[in-house]
């Protein structure tokens, strides 16, 4: 528990939130500034800043929660699709430094069909260096 962290305070119940799922280690609640109706944030209760700092088992369990949320959005809200997004690090637009997964339902009535690729334009330089970067990044 980090007393300055708004999501830790939400976990503790000090700050109110609309909870949609909870178990011993996780919480999923509605984003206060929803990008669509049913926009959920899924978090581990433990204060961890970014995804890469989670253990392998912890991250797997967090994504099972994401899956439960996605199922509920389809079944209960009539979502036809959803975006799963996680901003990690200030440079990536992370505002709250407590790891969270956005699950944003998408509905037929919404005009925009914009997906993740609309967030950042194609980087031409990166496009021209695919082979080189692939070799550098290869994970054994």
CB 96 within 8 A of CB 27: no
> Binding string to Zn ion for residues 90 to 109, with x set by CB under 5 A, is what?
--------x-----------
β-strands 26-30, 40-44 pairing: antiparallel
If the CB atoms of residues 98 and 106 are measured against Zn ion, the closer one turns out to be 98
- 17 touching ligand 5GP, by CB under 6 A: yes
Q: Of 37, 11, 36, 15, nearest to 26 (Cα)?
A: 11
- 119 touching ligand 5GP, by CB under 6 A: no
**Active-site hit among 39, 98, 100, 102:** 100
Q: How far apart are CB 13 and ligand 5GP at their closest, in Å?
A: 13
CA end-to-end span of the chain, whole Å? 35
- Grouping H, G, I as helix, E, B as strand and the rest as coil, residue 29 is strand
- 43 touching Zn ion, by CB under 5 A: no
Q: Which tokens go with 66?
A: 């994401």
Catalytic (active site) residue 100: yes
What is the rounded CA–CA span in Å between residue 46 and residue 58?
10
Among 11, 29, 44, 82, which residue interacts with ligand 5GP (rule: CB under 6 A)?
Answer: 29
- 25 touching Zn ion, by CB under 5 A: no
- 110 touching ligand 5GP, by CB under 6 A: no
Q: Which tokens go with 74?
A: 């389809």
Give the binding site for ligand 5GP (CB under 6 A). 6, 15, 17, 29-33, 41, 87, 93-96
């Amino acid at each position: 528990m980090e007393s300055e962290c708004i999501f830790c305070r939400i976990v503790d119940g000090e700050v109110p939130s609309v909870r949609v799922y909870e178990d011993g280690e996780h919480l999923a609640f509605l984003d206060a500034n929803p990008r669509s109706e049913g926009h959920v944030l899924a978090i581990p209760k433990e204060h961890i800043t970014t995804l890469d700092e989670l253990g392998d088992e912890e991250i797997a369990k967090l994504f099972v929660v994401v899956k439960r949320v996605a199922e509920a959005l389809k079944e209960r809200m009539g979502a036809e699709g959803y975006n799963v997004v996680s901003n990690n690090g200030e440079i990536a637009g992370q505002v709250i430094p407590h790891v969270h997964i956005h699950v944003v339902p998408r509905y037929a009535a919404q005009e925009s069909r914009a997906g993740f690729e609309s967030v950042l334009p194609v980087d031409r330089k990166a496009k021209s260096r695919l082979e080189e970067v692939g070799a550098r990044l290869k994970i054994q």
